[in-house]
Amino acid sequence: MLMASIEKFLADWTVDGAGIKPVFENYLRLLTEKEGVELDFNERAGVSYSLRARHVNQKSRSLFAMVDIIDDDPENRWLSVCFYGDMVTDPDELGDLVPGGLLGEDGHCFDLEDAEGADYLQARLEEACSNAAKG
């Protein structure tokens, strides 16, 4: 059911002015291939499509990453990817600290308006997943 919802959304996403769709697909593939990762997909057309990743070893948090496709302009969607502040590092200081911004806890969010920076953000996803696997 979950993957069917995501696949339908991706099939309907035909205009991608910013080139973000393949970046999202890569992140989705990365997360689905990680052992112990569970995904949830929340659709709010016109606002965002939110992919939430949780590791089965996590005890006190409901996710380790939230990959939001911002849908305020469906022809130029962009990504906002958030982590708990203590789950990732940001050596290049490209993210924004958001006090209380991730389910009431301090978040570290990265906006990606085009494919530039996708590899850096993928490394943050890998890091957060690794930290979440520790419990």
Nearest to 52 by CA among 101, 127, 1, 103: 103
Q: Residue 113 in contact with residue 78, Cβ under 8 Å?
A: yes
SS3 at position 130: helix
Is pLDDT larger for residue 123 or for residue 59? 123
The two three-digit tokens of residue 44, written as one number: 């709010």
Cα distance between residue 129 and residue 111, in whole Å: 19
SS3 at position 73: coil
Look over the chain and give the mean of its residue pLDDT values, rounded to a whole number.
Answer: 95
> Is-above-0.85 flag for pTM?
yes
- pLDDT at residue 1 in the model: 74
Cα distance between residue 124 and residue 120, in whole Å: 7
What are the tens digits of pLDDT across the range 84-119? Answer: 999 999 999 999 999 998 989 999 999 999 999 999
Please give the CATH architecture assigned to the domain spanning 2-133. Answer: Alpha-Beta Complex (3.90)
What are the tens digits of pLDDT across the range 4-43? Answer: 999 999 999 999 999 999 999 999 999 999 999 999 999 9
